[in-house]
Chains A and B, each alone.
Chain A
Amino acid sequence: DQQVKQNSPSLSVQEGRISILNCDYTNSMFDYFLWYKKYPAEGPTFLISISSIKDKNEDGRFTVFLNKSAKHLSLHIVPSQPGDSAVYFCAASGNFNKFYFGSGTKLNVKP
């Protein structure tokens, strides 16, 4: 049973606009959430994280929002750039630092 889900396998956005990637989870014990960016044939690169005590964390063009009651988190990228085109994975963690990953959303930012 998949505990972290990304229901959109792909997303296409025009350069300069906002990209919104979504992620849902089922385990209420998760208290740490992350987003990773992955290019083909490379390992995931850590992007941004958020603890369950917060509902928003911002780092430059990237903002992660957490809605604990809905068990939902999202990543906003604004403005989107062509170099942002990649696969984005959300991940969640509870005890013991074991991470659960979503299936990824492929973002394409069109010039």
Chain B
Amino acid sequence: GAVVSQHPSRVICKSGTSVKIECRSLDFQATTMFWYRQFPKQSLMLMATSNEGSKATYEQGVEKDKFLINHASLTLSTLTVTSAHPEDSSFYICSALTGGNNQPQHFGDGTRLSIL
């Protein structure tokens, strides 16, 4: 149980393109989803917390107009990197909570984004 699917797994696109990444909870409803970014050999950096039906909460230093998050249903959250530039190239990972206190986050397999 608790499977999170993230799509696409890899994206290569030109600078200036907007890229949408989807995160789906396949066998549970996720009221809260999280978006992380991982730089090489570094930890997971939380970008934002996404709650179904409400605006995402962004961490300090993360541009909300640059990284648009939508959590329209209990099973789907999307991250759109708008007008992507080479410095946005990174590994983006989503996770979802099954609900309740003291429960683990379950992660998708991540998206490798490469901006040329």
Q: Inter-chain contact count A-B, CB under 8 Å?
A: 51
Complex Cα–Cα for A22 and B44 (A) = 17
- Asked whether A51 lies within 8 Å of B46 as measured between CB atoms, the reply is no
**Distance from B110 Cβ to chain A, minimum over Cβ atoms (Å):** 5
Task: Give the B interface residue count (CB, 8 A).
Answer: 25
Q: Which residue of A lies closest to B91 (CB)?
A: A41
Contact with A along B66-106 (1 / 0, CB 8 A): 00000000000000000000000000010101000111111
Bound form: Cα–Cα A98–B32 in Å:
10
CA distance A103 to B4 in the complex (A): 23
Q: Which residue, of A2, A32, A99, has the highest number of chain B Cβ atoms within 10 A?
A: A99
Binding site for A on B (CB under 8 A): 4, 6, 9, 32, 34, 41-44, 46, 49, 93, 95, 97, 101-110, 112
A32-B102, A49-B102, A89-B44 known, 15 other contacts, Cβ within 8 Å? A32-B101, A41-B110, A43-B107, A43-B108, A43-B109, A44-B44, A51-B102, A97-B32, A97-B105, A98-B49, A99-B34, A99-B46, A101-B44, A102-B43, A103-B42
* A–B pairs, 30, beta carbons within 8 Å: A2-B43, A9-B41, A32-B102, A34-B104, A36-B107, A41-B9, A41-B110, A43-B4, A43-B108, A43-B110, A44-B44, A44-B107, A45-B107, A46-B105, A46-B107, A49-B104, A89-B43, A89-B44, A93-B102, A97-B32, A97-B101, A97-B103, A98-B46, A98-B49, A99-B34, A99-B105, A101-B44, A102-B43, A103-B43, A104-B43
